Amino acid sequence: MSLSARRRPAVDEETKRPRWRGVVSPGMAVAIPVLVFLVAVHVYSNELLLVDMAIYIALAQGINIIYGFTGYLPFGYFGFFGVGAYVAGYGIVHLGLSGPLAALLGGLGGVVVGAVMLPLFRLKGAYFALTTLAVGEALYAIVSNPSLTSVTNGPYGLNLAAVYSSGWSFGMAVGLAAISILAVVLIKNSRYGMTLRAIRDDPYSASMAGINVARDRFYAWLIAAAIAGVGGAIYGWAISVFYPQDVFDVTVSVFAIVFALFGGIGTIWGPTLGAAVLYAVYNVVGVSNPQYFQLIYGLVIVLLVLFAPRGLAGIARYLHEHRPFVRSST
């Protein structure tokens, strides 16, 4: 047998594997989390914790879209979350909307605020991150203003208990997580995703190649804002009673960013795994012993920065790529 004949089956096998994996793996990235949540709700009694985890998966994927694919880190991401909660609350209290319709209205509120923040893209790096943080705090100050009590109820919060629905809020949260993962799948495996990565790596070269940098980056920003807006709306609906400081909380941004970084930005599975693992750790350790949780969080972040900057997804990829060498050496 000739050398070329011996090599042909291996080449054919390599050409077949990506096609199979390209179809199955993205589908599993959406289906597996949904199935896990559907099983967990019958095993674990704290449904609100599962709702929060699903929302944080969606928020981490939203950070993945804007930061992982464009390189813009929004510290003020919680602003969209809070706006979504209050716009949905306004729709329920003043317009008589149902919870699901109000959640969609919350997503629209996030998109509108995201569109207003378009001029911020003239800034870069830390300037962009800090300015979005300032905008988020400004939105909190506006909503909690006692002069707007007739609209937002000011610092007294909103009560949505009249439309509370345990099953619907859980289903909407899981659905949002699935849609956010699907959005990342579609972006990553599309020409638009390649365009965003080109913008992230070198926006000047991308513009010279004919890419409309401002437009394509803005679309990603609006998608991330919509996800956060719907997430805030579902959160407010699920807890029924909330105050401005509950939803306009910078911790929301910190958690979403850390979850995405821990799992691995620019990947499909990374933010989902990061949110699931760290939020579970937070509820086991952080609620009862916050000082120990902060220590664990700090150690995890330091170790990731030093040894695994690509997160859990990067570690998994490294082990997978080096598996043949391990086998051959044994």
281 — pLDDT class (breaks 50, 70, 90): confident
In the chain the first and final C-alpha atoms are separated, in Å, by: 28
How far is CA 21 from each of CA 15, 36, 42, 114, 325, rounded to the nearest angstrom?
A: 11, 21, 31, 35, 21
pLDDT of residue 286: 63
Q: Report whether pLDDT(118) > 50.
A: yes
Torsion of the alpha carbons at 78, 83, 86 and 87, rounded to the nearest 10: -150
When pLDDT is cut at 50, 70 and 90, the band that residue 320 belongs to is low
Question: Taking the model in full, what pTM does it have?
Answer: 0.86
Architecture of domain 22-321: Orthogonal Bundle (1.10)
Confidence of residue 164 (pLDDT cuts 50, 70, 90): confident
At a CB cut-off of 8 Å and minimum separation 6, what does 273 contact?
263, 264, 312, 313
Taking only the tens place, the pLDDT of each residue in 170-199 is 999 999 999 999 999 999 989 998 999 998
Digit-coded pLDDT (tens) for 154-163: 899 999 988 8
Question: Is the C-alpha dihedral spanning 250, 255, 258, 263 positive or negative?
Answer: negative
**In the predicted model, what is the mean pLDDT of the chain?**
84
pLDDT at 212: 87
Amino acid identity at 284: V
Structure tokens at 266: 């620019």
Q: How many CB atoms neighbour CB 185 within 10 A?
A: 18
Domain ranges of the chain: 22-321
Pick the closest to residue 114 from 251, 232, 259, 206 (CA basis).
Answer: 232
